[in-house]
Structure 1
Amino acid sequence: MTPTRPRCPRLAFTLAFSFALWPMLAQADGVTVRYDAEASPFPSNRYTVPDFGNATLRRVNLPKPDCAIRPSDCADIDVINTLDGFSTQPRITVPFTGDIDPASVNSDSIYLVNLGDVLTLRGFGQRVGINQVVWDPASKTLAFESDELLQERSRYLLVVTNAVRDASGKKLKNADFLGGRDAHLRELRDALPMARGGGRAVVAASLFTTQTATGDLLKIQRRIKAGTPAPMNFMVGNGGAVRALFPVAGLQGIQFNRQTGTAPTFTAGFLPTPALQVMPGAVGHVAYARFDSPEYQNAAKVIPPTDTLTGNPRPLGRQALTAQFFLPASPRPAGGWPVAIFGHGFTDSMYGAPWTVASVLASQGIATLSINVVGHGGGAQGYLNVLPTAGAPVQIPAGGRGIDQDGNGSIDSTEGVNAAAPQTIVSSRDGLRQTVIDLMQLVRQVEVGVDVDGDGSRDLDPARIYYAGQSFGGIYGTILLGVERNIKAGVPNVPGGSITEIARLSPSFRILTGLSLATRQPVLLNLPPTPELPVPLNFNENLPLRDQPPLVNTVPGAMAIAELLDRNEWVQQSGNPVSYAELIRRDPPLGHAAKPVIVQFAKGDVTVPNPTSSAIVRAGGLKDRVTYYRNDLAFAGNPGIPKNPHTFLTNIGVAAAAPLAVAAQTQIAVFFASHGATVIDPDAGGPLFEVPIQGDLPEGLNFIP
C-alpha cells in the first residue's frame, strides 16, 4: 500500500521542526539570570586581577565608566581598585532576563557557601543566608545583603537555585554561565560541587573573594609593641617650665582657648571642673603630658595602601599628642592605679565626655586617661589656661587635631577626620584607624611606665589598662579592643557600624549623606526638598531594614544611591568596628586573649540607630554582653528624660537623667575594678536596664515620636 502523502508538505515540515525545537524554545522563553557584557551577578572575581602580594592573591579591577560624564564614580573606582577583595558585607546584585516573584527569594533559594580563607581554608563549607532583599522591576535586578558579616580574605560561592520563581510561578531556567575558558570560569566550575542545592537545581552562580579588613592595624600593633618610646613628658606648662600636675582642690578653673580659625582665632570657654565632684573628693589631681605617636596618614588624611600579604604599612612621620589624666584621691597602689582610657565622641573632644565619667571611675580607684581624636579639639595652636586658687596661671598646649581642610579660614569641630577629595569615599576610615594607632601608642606609653609626679615611681598599672568610650569613642574603641592585646577589659557605649549606615539611618546625620549625594557628578539626589529638608538634600534610597519582607522598588534613582552606599561601606570596612568585633572574644588574633566586655546601648538611639549597634553585637557574638538601656520606659515614667538616649552615660547635667548616667558609669567602674569579672545591673533589677538584653537584638529604629 502506498503511503498517503501530506496534503501540505510545508505545514508538516514546520510542525516537525517546531516540535524538535520545543526544548530550546521553552528554555528561551523562560526567565534566567543574565550573563552578558552589560549585566551579570556582582560581586564576582571576573572583576579582579592576580596579585600575589596580597593575602587574597587578588586585587580588584573594576572597569571605569566615561570619566567625563561620571567623574565621581571614576574617583571612587581609583580607590576601590587598590583593595584586595570585595566587601565582607556585600550588597549582591543578580540581573534577570525577565520578571521574578520576589516572595520566592529567601535563604533557601539563594545563599552563599564559604570556600575558606584563601591561605588557610578556615571556614570551609559554612553556609550563609541572605537578608534585606530588594527587587527592582525597572532593571529586572535583584539586590540583597549577606545575612551575616562574611569572613575576610575568603572565597564565597553565590548560589541561585530554581526555587526562585518567575512572575508566573515557573522555575528559573538554567543560565549559560560557564561558557568560556578564562581562569575565573575554571575556578567557578571547580567550586560548583560545593553548591549543594538541597534537591533544587543550581541555575546560576558567582564566585568572589572578600577583602582583608583587619590586617593593617594588627601589623601596626606589632610594630608599636616592638618599640620602646621615650617616657611621657609632663613638663609642658609655660613652655616646659612647669610640671602640668594640678590638685583638684586647688583649681579655680581651666580655660580652654580653642583654635577655631587660621588667623589664628580662638573661642574661649571653661572646662567642666564641677563634673569632677559627682563623687565629691574622688578625683585628686588633673595632669597633662605630651608623647609622640607614629603618623600613618598622609596630607589627604589617607593611610596609603600596602600589599596585604607581603607589605607593611610605614609611618610617614611622628606627631606630638597631648594626654589628659584624672588621678584618684585614694592612695596609689604599689603597682600604680588601674587606668581606663576613655574615648570621646564625634564633634566632642577630651575636654568634654571624659570629664563627666572621671569622678565615678576615681571612686573605684581607677584613673582616667584621654586624648583627642583625629580632626577634633580645634586647631593645633589651641591652649589651656589653668587657673589655680593660689599662684600664677599655667599655659598648656591643648592638643587640638583639627585642620582647615576646606581652606575657608575656619576649623570646624570634626574638620580633618575625613579624607580629602578626590578620595572622599575613604571618609573617616583612616581617621578612625589613625586614632586607634594613637591609642595603641598610648597603651605602650603606659606599659613602659608613666611617672606623673616625677618621683621615679609608676603611677599607672601597666597590667590593668581598660577602655571605655562613648559614641564615636565606642566605634573606634571596638576596633581598639579587637587589635590591642594589653587592654584587659572594655565597655563600648552606644557604638555602631558602619559609619555609612549610621549616617543613612540617623536623622542627626542623614543630611551629611544628602550632602555627599548632592556634591557628586552626576548628582544622585532623587527627591525634591521638604519642610524638614528645605535645602535640596533630600533622597530616598528605599532600602529595607533586616528581617523585613522583600521590597519592590518603585523609587527612581534609589538603586544608584544604594550602589553608592554599598561602595562606601566596602571601601571603609577596615575602619568599620563590625569588622573587628569578632577579634574581641570569639576569635582573638594569635597571641591575644579573649577580653571581657560590656556593650552598652539604648533603645531608640537617634544618633547611632539600634540596627548599627546590633550589627556589632551580632558580628562579635556578644549578645550575652549587652546592657540595654530602656529609654522608652524611662521617658514614659519621666518626661524630663531626653527622647534621644544617645548620651545616657554622660547626662549628668540633666536632673532627671543624672541618676541613670551615674548608674551606667558605676557599672563600668565596678567592671574595671573587678578586672572585668563583675557585671552589675545599673538599676539593681529594675526595668530600665536589661543585663543582658532580653529577646532578639533590635533591628528597628525604635525612635520615640
Structure 2
Amino acid sequence: MVRVRARLLLAGATFSLFSFAALAAGVSVRMDDADPSTAPFPSNRFTVFDGTQNTLRRVNLPKPDCSVRVSDCQDIDVINTLDGFSTQPRITVPFTGDIDPATVNSDTVFLVNLGDTLTLGGLGDKVGINQVVWDPATRTLVFQSDQLLQQHSRYLLVVTDGVRDAAGKKVQSGGNGDEFGIAVGRGAAGADYRRELRDAVRGVRSGDRKIVAASLFSTQSATTELARIGRRIRQSTPAPVNFNIGTTDQGTVQALFATASLIGVQFQRQTGTAPVFTTSLLPTPALNIVPGAVAAIAYGTFNSPDYLTPGKYMPATSTLTGEPQPQGTGSIVVQIFLPAGPKPAQGWPVAIFGHGFGDSMYGAPWVVASTLASQGIATASINVVGHGGGPLGRLIVLRPSPDATVAVPAGGRGIDQDGNGTIDATEGSSAAPPRSVISSRDALRQTVVDLMQLVRQIEAGVDVDGDGTVDLDAQRIYYAGQSFGGIYGVMFLGTEPSIKAGVPNVPGGSIPEIVRLSPVFRPLGGIALAGRIPSLINVGGIQFNENIPLRDQPPLVNTVAGAMDIQKWFDWQQWVQQPGNPVSYAAQIRKQPLPGVAAKPVIIQFAKGDQTVPNPTASAIVRAGDLTDRTTYFRNDLAFAANPAVSKNPHTFLTNVTGAGAPFAIAAQMQIATFFASNGMVFIDPDGAQPFFEAPIAGPLPEVTNFIP
C-alpha cells in the first residue's frame, strides 16, 4: 500500500513538473512539416530538386482528398509545375498559442534576400511585411511581403522573439532540440533543407532579438519565358504585312481607305457559332476630334507564333534549360490610322495602342487616333486574345458610288469556349478548366507576343499603299494602352527593347487584386468561388468576405468564418498568374532593364477613385517600377466636385470624349501625343496650372480605393 501511494505521489509530481514545464515553455511557432498549414509557409520543404529550373527547385505541394477538394487538386496540379513560390506571397506562421498581433511588424518579422539564384543579385536585402492578419481560430499569423520579391531568388523568413504572446511574454523557439527550434522533413531532402536553413540563419542579424523560427523558400521565375520568346521573335525575318485583304464583287483589293471618302464602317461582329452576327457602326466621327488629322485607315494581316493550346494556356517550360514552343501560327489583323500631311522620309512615327478588357481595336484606338495624328503619329492596333468577336466577323466599308463597298476581315479572336453557341465579348481570354487558376495569364502573354511580332513587322518595313516605300518609322515605335491595354502594356514595355517610350493608362495588378477590390469585377470572383468544389462562398449567393486589410493598416484580427480559405484562394490565383502580372515587369521598364536593353521613358496615367482598376493596384505597378516621378494622377474627385456631370468612375477618362469629361480626355490624350512627338522627352501637365491633373503625382501613392460614394 505504501509502495502504491509512493508511486501515485511520484506520478503526480511528474505530471506537475511536466505541466509546469509545458506552461514554462510558452507560445512558440508550430513546426510540424507534414502540412503547409502547420509550419511557416512558403518553404522549400514543399519543393523537389529540378536541375532544369532557374531555382533548381520545383514546387511539390501535397494534395488533399481529391474526391472532396476537387478544385484544390486541380489548382495544385498547375502550381506544382512552377519553379518557386509567389513573388508576392501570402506568408503564414502558425503558433502553439495566442499572440499579440500588435507586436508583429517589420522589425520583429521580416524577410532576408539570399540572392538571385543566377547572379546572387539582391543578396542581403531586408524586406518588411504588410497587410497583417491574425486568425485566432487557427492561431495563424498571415501577412504579405512589403514589396514585390525578386524573382528566382532565395529568401529567408525570420520570426524573432520580439513577437509577444497574449500575456506579453516573448514567443519562444520550438524547444524540440534543434538549434533554432526548426523541424524539417526526414531523409536526405530534410537534411539538405536543414543545412541550408541553418547556414542562412547564422548570417542574419536581428539586433537584440532572438530568432525563434525561420523558413527558407525560393521565388518563381516570372518574366523568363516571355523574355525568351521575345528574343526568338527578334531573330526572325517575317513576311511583309499583307494589305491586299479587302474583297469586292470584282475580287481582292487593297484595304486602304481615305477617311474623306467614308460614309461609314459597319462592324459585323460574330457573336454566335451558327454563325450569328451583330452589326454596329464604328465611331468614325471620333476621327474628327482633331478635324482632318487622320488621312487614311488601312487593314493588313501578318502571322504571329501562337503559344496557346486550345485550352488557352501555355504549356509549362523549364525555366533554365527550356524554350517555349509555338503551338501553331495565328493570322493577326492590324488596323493602322495614317496622319494627314507630308510623310516624313523615314515614314510616320507610330504608336501601338492597346485596347481594354471587353473592348476591341474598333473602340478606344479610334478615339485616340486623331489626337496622335495631329502630332504626326500613326496609330496601330490589334485585337487582344479572346476579343473582337469570332473569327468570321468582318467590316463593311461604305463609300460613295461609284466606289465599291469593301469587306475586310475583322480579326476577331473570340471563341465559344463554353460550348453554348455564343461568343461573348471576352470569351477565350482565360484558361479553360481544369486549369482555371491560370485565368488570363497566358492570353495576356500571348497578346504581348503578338505585339512583339507587330514591332518586328514594322522593323522589317511596312508599306501600306504598295508604292515601294515604308510608311512607318522603324526607329520611332511607341506604345500606349488603356486598362487591360495598360496591363499587358506594362508587360510589353518591360520586355520589348524596340519601343522608345510608353504610356500605360489606368493599369493595375495583379488581376486577382483587381477582382478583389473592384466593385465592377468582384462579382466574377464570387462566381469563381461559388463554382469551386467545394464552394468557398461564406456570405451567400456570390457574395464573399475575404477580410484582407489594405496596405499600411494596423494588424487585423479575423473573425469571419471561411475568410482564411478565400485568402488562400486569392493567393494561389496571384501566385500562378505572376507571369501575367504587370507588377512583375514594372521594374524592367526603367529600374532594372533586361540585359542590353536601355531604360525607357514612360508615363503611368491613372485616376483617383477608379472603380474598375482600383488605386491600390495601380500603385503596386508604380511602386514596383519606382515610377512615382513619371506618374500622372487625374483628380477625378476635384473634377466631380466642380461638375457633378463628370462620372464617379473615372476609369475611361482618356476616352470619354463627349459630355462633361471631354476636356479631361483631350488633355490626357495630348499629354501622350506630346510625349511621343518628343520621343519621350517632354512630360507636360495635361491641364497646366489647373488642379485636375498632378504631373507628377503629389504626395504618397494612394493605398486605399478612394471611391466617390
* TM-score between the two structures when normalised by the length of structure 2: 0.95
Tell me if 1:221 matches 2:248: no
Aligned twin of 1:531: none
Q: Is the 8 A contact 1:35 1:41 kept in 2?
A: no
Structure 2 counterparts to residues 443-522 of structure 1, below 5 A: 443-522=455-534
Aligned twin of 1:432: 444
Aligned twin of 2:142: 143
Aligned twin of 2:58: 59
2:192 is aligned with what amino acid?
A
Question: SS of the counterpart of 1:656?
Answer: helix
Pick aligned residue for 1:541 from 532, 538, 546: 546
Distance 1:283 1:186, change over 3 A: same
Pick aligned residue for 1:30 from 27, 30, 36: 27
Aligned twin of 1:533: none
Query: Structure 2 regions of 5+ residues with no counterpart?
Result: 175-180
Tell me if 1:268 matches 2:268: no
How far apart, CA to CA, are the structure 1 residues paired with 2:42 and 2:27? 24
Aligned twin of 2:565: 560
Question: SS of the counterpart of 1:301?
Answer: coil
Query: Structure 1 regions of 5+ residues with no counterpart?
Result: 1-7, 529-535
Q: Which moved more, 1:235-244 or 1:256-265?
A: 235-244
How far apart, CA to CA, are the structure 2 residues paired with 1:492 and 1:251? 31
Aligned twin of 1:572: 577
How far apart, CA to CA, are the structure 1 residues paired with 2:356 and 2:11? 76
1:198 deviation in Å? Answer: 1.2
Distance 1:307 1:11, change over 3 A: closer
Aligned twin of 2:423: 411
Structure 2 counterparts to residues 330-349 of structure 1, below 5 A: 330-349=341-360
1:281 is aligned with what amino acid?
G
2:323 is aligned with what amino acid?
N
How far apart, CA to CA, are the structure 1 residues paired with 2:6 and 2:458? 97
How far apart, CA to CA, are the structure 1 residues paired with 2:208 and 2:19? 25
Aligned twin of 1:237: 246
Tell me if 1:614 matches 2:619: yes
2:497 is aligned with what amino acid?
R
Question: SS of the counterpart of 2:93?
Answer: strand
Tell me if 1:284 matches 2:283: no
Aligned twin of 1:601: 606
Aligned twin of 2:114: 115
1:571 deviation in Å? Answer: 0.2
Tell me if 1:648 matches 2:657: no
Tell me if 1:191 matches 2:203: no
Tell me if 1:303 matches 2:314: yes
How far apart, CA to CA, are the structure 2 residues paired with 1:18 and 1:46? 35
Q: Note the alpha carbon deviations across 1:86-125, whole angstroms, 9 max, x for none.
A: 0000000000000000100000010000000112111000
Question: SS of the counterpart of 2:253?
Answer: coil
Aligned twin of 1:532: none
Q: Is the 8 A contact 1:157 1:195 kept in 2?
A: no
1:310 is aligned with what amino acid?
T
Q: Is the 8 A contact 1:115 1:123 kept in 2?
A: yes
Structure 2 counterparts to residues 372-411 of structure 1, below 5 A: 372-390=383-401, 391-411=403-423
Q: Which runs of 4+ in 1 moved over 6 A?
A: 8-23
Q: Note the alpha carbon deviations across 1:382-439, whole angstroms, 9 max, x for none.
A: 0000011231100000000000000000000000000000000000000000000000
Q: Is the 8 A contact 2:108 2:163 kept in 1?
A: yes
1:27 deviation in Å? Answer: 4.4
How far apart, CA to CA, are the structure 1 residues paired with 2:13 and 2:275? 90
1:197 deviation in Å? Answer: 1.3
Q: Is the 8 A contact 1:236 1:397 kept in 2?
A: yes
2:434 is aligned with what amino acid?
P
Tell me if 1:658 matches 2:662: yes
Aligned twin of 1:5: none
1:9 deviation in Å? Answer: 9.1
How far apart, CA to CA, are the structure 2 residues paired with 1:591 and 1:155? 25
How far apart, CA to CA, are the structure 2 residues paired with 1:66 and 1:644? 44
How far apart, CA to CA, are the structure 1 residues paired with 2:26 and 2:369? 70
1:440 deviation in Å? Answer: 0.2
How far apart, CA to CA, are the structure 2 residues paired with 1:215 and 1:631? 38
Q: Is the 8 A contact 1:53 1:307 kept in 2?
A: yes
* TM-score between the two structures when normalised by the length of structure 1: 0.96
Root-mean-square deviation (CA, aligned residues, Å) is: 1.7
Fraction of identical pairs, as percent: 65
Distance 1:22 1:375, change over 3 A: closer
How far apart, CA to CA, are the structure 1 residues paired with 2:595 and 2:341? 37
Structure 2 counterparts to residues 245-260 of structure 1, below 5 A: 245-260=256-271
Q: Which moved more, 1:37-46 or 1:296-305?
A: 37-46
2:568 is aligned with what amino acid?
E
Pick aligned residue for 1:583 from 588, 593, 596: 588
Aligned twin of 2:178: none
1:33 deviation in Å? Answer: 3.5
| Count of aligned pairs between the two proteins | 690
How far apart, CA to CA, are the structure 2 residues paired with 1:82 and 1:644? 39
1:685 deviation in Å? Answer: 2.0
How far apart, CA to CA, are the structure 2 residues paired with 1:324 and 1:19? 82
Tell me if 1:673 matches 2:677: yes
Aligned twin of 2:177: none
How far apart, CA to CA, are the structure 1 residues paired with 2:424 and 2:12? 78
How far apart, CA to CA, are the structure 1 residues paired with 2:508 and 2:254? 39
1:467 deviation in Å? Answer: 0.1
1:22 deviation in Å? Answer: 9.4
Q: Note the alpha carbon deviations across 1:254-302, whole angstroms, 9 max, x for none.
A: 0000000000010000000000000000000011001000000001000
Q: Is the 8 A contact 2:462 2:471 kept in 1?
A: yes
How far apart, CA to CA, are the structure 1 residues paired with 2:265 and 2:18? 88
1:29 deviation in Å? Answer: 3.8
How far apart, CA to CA, are the structure 1 residues paired with 2:164 and 2:682? 53
Q: Note the alpha carbon deviations across 1:500-538, whole angstroms, 9 max, x for none.
A: 00011100000000000010000000003xxxxxxx101
Q: Is the 8 A contact 2:27 2:98 kept in 1?
A: no
Tell me if 1:688 matches 2:692: yes
Tell me if 1:358 matches 2:357: no
Q: Which moved more, 1:383-392 or 1:51-60?
A: 383-392
1:241 deviation in Å? Answer: 1.3
